[in-house]
Amino acid sequence: MNTDIKQKFCDLLGEERVLFQEPMNRHTTFRIGGPAEVFLVPESVEQICGALKLCREEQLPYFILGNGSNLLVSDSGYRGVIIQMDRNMGKIELEGTEIRACAGALLSSIAAAARKASLTGFEFAGGIPGTLGGAVVMNAGAYGGEMKDVLKEVTVMTAEGDIRTLPAQQLELGYRTSIIRKAGYLVLEAVIALEEGDPQVIQAKMKELADKRTEKQPLEYPSAGSTFKRPEGHFAGKLIMDSGLRGYRVGGAQVSEKHCGFVINTGGATAKDVRELIDHVVRTVEEKFGVTLEPEVKFLGEF
């Protein structure tokens, strides 16, 4: 990428919001990843629009990053532009029994805001390690709750740069999918509709779910959360365990002994380690049970 283009990003966002050769292990929950050629931290929708417009005009590859909770970045990094939508785009507002939040708001922060306002319905999302934008795209869920249960509307940007507000009924929310993902829209903000509740009951429910996560998930290690989608009629973790892969390692990457559905970074794991381990798990489970596991983790860069 030439110096003129880099300067255009600096002029657009301000030099303090443009980083070059930024290590991506600082921005993923796996704590893995080589450098991003250009890393942008916009603070407004206008800056996001401008950055995307520049990427299209200059034909630059780009990737929208939340808090990096479902992502494996190549050891060689990413040759292109990373546009972060995390705490820099994390505004949360209460509107009666509804919460309006920007795409970069953490689900845990939204759940905390709901709890403080004595609003119930979002307890399930309090421990999901991700941002609202990614959760909407993938219809994230846990412990019997899903985003489709609480979403009222979502404001998106189309590939052409148009901004639209879509009611939840038009989002085609299914298991780990939505019209947003299929159409390549960018989530800007969403409205979550909740109900008034008893603050003590809400707090107790959130604690119960947090305790379950701590008991069953390897939260003490860096990971990307649940590594595989749930195959129809099966549980990925059980298939992996029954394949004899509990604790299986490649370099610093390991199938968690605590929950076989998680691949963890035990320390110093490379993206190559993780990818080889995931591929080995997929092959082994298919050979033993005839079930093809599909990774939930996105792979960014060259593998």
Instruction: Give the active site residues.
Output: 176, 226, 296
Element spanning 51, H or E: helix 45-57
Token pair in block for residue 204: 């107790």
Element spanning 154, H or E: strand 151-157
Which residues make beta-bridge pairs with 164? 156
Token pair in block for residue 274: 């993780």
Sign of the dihedral through C-alpha 40, 43, 47, 52: positive
Taking the CA atoms of residue 229, residue 234, residue 240 and residue 241 in that order, the dihedral angle to the nearest 10 degrees is 140
Closest alpha carbon to 25 in 302, 222, 226, 227? 222
Q: Classify the phi-psi angles of 172: left when phi > 0, otherwise alpha if psi is within -120 to 50, otherwise beta.
A: left
Length of the chain: 303
Residue 218, SS3 per DSSP: coil
Element spanning 98, H or E: strand 98-102
The phi and psi torsions of 200 (rounded to 5 degrees) equal -70, -40
